[in-house]
Structure 1
Amino acid sequence: MDEHNLIKRCQQGDKEAFQLLISQYHPFVYKFLIRTTDNEQTAEDLTQETFLKVIRNIEKFDTMGQAKFSTYVITIAKNAYIDYLRKEKKFRYNIPFPENFNVEDSSVHVEDTIVDKLYGQGILTDLEDLPEEQRIVIKLKYIEGLTLKEIGDQLELEPKTVKSRIHNGIVRLRKLLDKGDER
């Protein structure tokens, strides 16, 4: 059955169609959330929450519009994750930079250094103090290794917006790191 008809059936309250739709999209949403949360239980909980919201709001999806259903579902999942972060306030990296790390060193590109430290020594700090939209794009870029376009597609943003959020997040992270050096 094609997706358009499946969604139409869901909008008419067909429970079998909902089961088909959920079974079709569950792996997609779960993989997105496991990459985003890095926690299986949280990803599963947020996946369930995502599909509850999909079921409750399926009538709002415009089957004749240009948005893909996959984009609609990922947007709901992303918003569920942001809500989770706001409620729980427990998304945290508590890994200090080494004392010899100098963000002012012109030969060191901060973004590359963060990636190197994250993968080489598991070092990244103060990320939890960034605004959520910056934290999410930085995590998707540097932890998940997604391109600006891939991040933009997932979050329904233009690549330029993603790049700007990453840049602003890195600038803010640099300031946070500078404050940490003063302690």
Structure 2
Amino acid sequence: MNTYTDSQLIDSYQNGCEKSLGFLINRHQKDLYTYIFYKLMDDDLANDIFQDTFMKIIVKLKEGGYNDQGKFILWAKRIAHNLIIDHYRLISKHKKVSETTYDNEEYSIFDMLQVQDENIEEKIISEQINSDLLSLLVHLPENQQEVIKLRFFDGLSFKEIADQTDSSINTTLGRVRYALINLRKIMEEKNIILTR
């Protein structure tokens, strides 16, 4: 598979071969991580944005949201760039509404979920999605349930999760990745679609 082009790996992944995603990530992770790190100059934050970028890539690939132009890495960097902008917007928003400064505190881009203004209908849909997700989590191993809850429901950074679960950041990243893969399989088996 190392000889496959990015487009071939993406096709293979979209046709159900999870290994293809691993090859795609391995091929571009150094370039993408370096791009993110030099925009943030913060190792922990860069790790979080890097991981969030690949989560978003996975979702977009599954939805068929990638137009094949043979420019996967440019597309990935654009996603990362948007997440970095979201991160800075979030800090800026917190600074405007708070008397204290948050310079030394970490933010997860998933904090955006909590600051968006939702109307009643959107709130009900969000609550339904959260409820559906929680009911799916019981099918995961306990350590995967824990990291998903801490990451997506409590909004902790990967470093905070690693500290709280007494694990390395790599172990935490791995658990989140496998939990998402397992959740996707469960959703496919049960024919569940989470949409807004």
Could you tell me the TM-score, scaled by structure 2's length? 0.43
Q: Give the number of the structure whose alpha-carbon radius of gyration is greater.
A: 1
